[in-house]
Chains A and B, each alone.
Chain A
């Protein structure tokens, strides 16, 4: 079955700097890659997603890139702000059975 690896598990960046979180997936049939942000005491919140027919997608300070050949996808956050501190999860789905397989998460700390 699908397996999603996420790195790093913890990331600290200075406010204003960029943060990059990387994920790899195992099943080449995966075609949908969402990213979720989870703040303490809350449910995961969908922040951006990308489908396999697209290489890059941007939404303000957030961008996601996908390399289908290497089975890698990454989340880029630019000009980080204190409210970006949270746990971020990458995920992959093949669509045919609607399962989303999540990575283990990255705890992002934005340092003042």
Chain B
């Protein structure tokens, strides 16, 4: 158990809908990262927040957004969902910024029908 929690574990929704994925980092970690894992694209970095501020952006679509709250939990919002958004979404946390170890949560499996 990495200490990172994610909810929900599974999510099934229809095209065009909006969903919110939630992540709680390990106790004491200030950085949260979001990744998408699909069969054809592997693990893709989406976005990072550090202590409430956006720190780095990867291949995140404009339909996707994230935020980190004062209690350091983070939410990833996915809107206007398409079939191709079906994937595993992982959250990871690290103690700070820079090349620190990232610890992954168990993931949320999103299925768009």
Contact = CB atoms under 8 A, between A and B. Distances in A.
Chain B interface main SS type: strand
Interface in B4-41: 4, 31, 33
Nearest to A101: B45
Interface stretch (B64-72, B74-82, B99-107): B99-107
A98 B31 contact: yes
B42 A98 contact: no
Interface string A20-33: 00000000000110
Given A43-B106, A45-B104, A97-B56, A32 B45 contact: no
Contacts of B31: 98
Contacts of A103: 42
B77 to A, nearest CB: 20
Size bin of chain A's contact surface: 20 to 34
A93 B90 contact: no
Interface of A: 31-32, 34, 36, 42-46, 49, 51, 89, 93, 95, 97-105
Interface of B: 2, 4, 31, 33, 42-45, 48, 50, 55-56, 58, 90, 92, 97-99, 101-107
